[in-house]
Chain A
Amino acid sequence: MADGALASGHTEEDVDELARRFGHHDEDLDHAFETYRVLRSECPVGRSERYGSFWFFTRYEDIYRAEQDPQTFSVSPSMLLPSFGNKRPLIPIDIDPPMLGKYRRILLPSFAPAQIDAVEPMVRAVARDLIDKFVTRGHCDAALEFARPFPTLVFTRMAGFPEQDYDRFQDWVDRIIYLRTHDSAETALAADEIVHYFLAFREQRLQEPPRDDLVGKLLGAEIDGRTLTAEEFADYCFLLLIAGLETTAWAVRASLWHLAQHPEDQLLLRQRPELVAGAAEEFLRCLAPVQAMARTLKRDVEVGGKRLRQGERVLLVFGSGNRDGNVFDDPDRVRVEREDNPHFAFGVGVHRCLGANLGRRELRVALEEFIRRIPAFRLETGEVPPWWGVGPLPITFGKPVRSGGPA
């Protein structure tokens, strides 16, 4: 150990191994934050052999610079690694400028802050209705009964996707997001099903009177003097479906995962609900649903002393940038009162998450309602479930105090 030991206490061999095996999904996320810490200090720009081999950037500044240079760091063929099984680029995330801006402009007004202000009452009603179903029971699966259905119901209503297809949407999310690392054939099958579903859905909607939902906006949109093709419509809906459902579910679940284990933070937010908005930002910084996104180099570059070649893949590890001690004090601690928090949970640069304003509002409202209605809660089992993903989160809590009841 002594000879090759680095400042972090790891040997050079350890760090090489960590870099070569670096991955950003599933069980790799169990120990991601420690991995990030070592890589940021010992190998901030490195190369992994996973997923067909890619470079990774783990420092905040390198990620920021790459995201300000979309000409060099292209999203073609896809920013997803591994892919969602789609045969064509997803819209808008897999599109480079200048087409990117044209696609985004179609839905930017629907996700602008004033529009999100207008849908907040609906968002809050969805959260309340879900909580009503388990509030008197004293325990629940906070993922299955709250974190997952909440954004699904909100987003299907906003988008105009048929609510009765809820189970199919969840099944697709599971197969796209969580099987892509293990079973790419199954993921490709799910991707085909999604595209066919939305092609048929488009035909159906075109027969109906126009509606003012996201689907209606896509159907009515014009770019370069033409309407969207059927494929463009399906590829846009595909992205909206996955992005609108899974990421917010993860963020809500991860926030409750933290709070269930930190009664002091629960207490603080109960006493000072005005802190929930900032706490939500902190949960996004530390436990973000999107830990990394990929790019492809359009030219040779040198970053962090490494020569990167045109055509190579680069993974921008937002989750690591979010814990960079050069930007955040005490970076590995969740501090719900943190004020300076320019994190990259929604990305940065021209690909900033289109639905960020909605996602943020959903998370804040979900936490406000959960904390207001559900008394002190904790994990139901001694075993701590993973922080990542949308898997079960069984929690237990006392029955709510009824007015007039015993103190």
Chain B
Amino acid sequence: MRVKVNGDRCQGHSRCRVLAPQVFEADELGYSFVVASPVPPELEERALLAVRNCPERAIFIEEERPMGSEGPS
């Protein structure tokens, strides 16, 4: 799972940094950016919680498409 913060929408509430600090960090003005994408499986739940708590709806999930590396098809 990949996450993205839409910089045009983020207003720096920092809910994501509080709820999933290993996935999101804030810059010197307080706007959020992603520090772990793809999100390690054990942090996915926290990352999704951050998505649901963003009042600006600024965080997006990008499901990884199954690639050839998934194994023999």
Contacts and interface: CB of A to CB of B under 8 A. Distances in A.
Interface of A: 64, 105, 108-109, 111-114, 277, 339-344, 346, 348-350, 352, 356-357, 360
Most A-side CB within 10 Å, residue of B12, B26, B49, B56 = B12
Given A105-B29, A109-B29, A112-B29, A343 B13 contact: no
B18 A342 contact: no
Nearest to A352: B11
B55 A344 contact: yes
Contact of A357 (B30, B54, B56): B30
A241 to B, nearest CB: 21
A108 B28 CA distance: 8
A108 B29 contact: yes
Interface string B36-73: 00000000000001001111110000000000000000
Contacts of B15: 342
A162 B53 CA distance: 37
10 contacts: A112-B28, A342-B53, A343-B55, A348-B56, A349-B11, A350-B11, A352-B11, A352-B13, A356-B13, A356-B14
A395 to B, nearest CB: 28
Contact of A111 (B27, B30, B54): B30
A344 B54 CA distance: 10
Contacts of A111: 30
Contacts of B28: 109, 112, 114
- Looking at B17, B28, B30, the one whose CB has the most chain A CB atoms below 10 A away is B30
Given A109-B29, A112-B29, A113-B30, A342 B54 contact: yes
* A111, A113, A349 pick with most chain B CB within 10 angstroms: A113
Given A277-B18, A339-B49, A108 B12 contact: yes
A111 B28 CA distance: 9
A-B interface, 10 closest residue pairs, ranked by CB to CB distance from nearest? A112-B30, A352-B11, A108-B29, A342-B55, A113-B26, A340-B52, A348-B55, A113-B14, A342-B53, A109-B28
B17 A348 contact: no
A113 B29 contact: no
Contacts of B26: 112-114
Interface in B5-28: 11-15, 17-18, 26-28
A312 to B, nearest CB: 26
A363 B38 CA distance: 33
A76 B11 CA distance: 20
A108 B15 CA distance: 16
A349 B49 CA distance: 20
Given A339-B49, A356-B13, A349 B29 contact: no
Contacts of A342: 15, 52-55
Contacts of A357: 12, 14, 30
Contact of B11 (A113, A339, A348): A348
A231 to B, nearest CB: 25
A101 B17 CA distance: 22
Contact of A113 (B17, B52, B57): B17
A397 B27 CA distance: 43
Given A109-B28, A112-B29, A349 B56 contact: yes
A149 B11 CA distance: 29
Nearest to A113: B26
Nearest to A346: B13
Contacts of A339: 49, 52
Contacts of A113: 14, 17, 26, 30
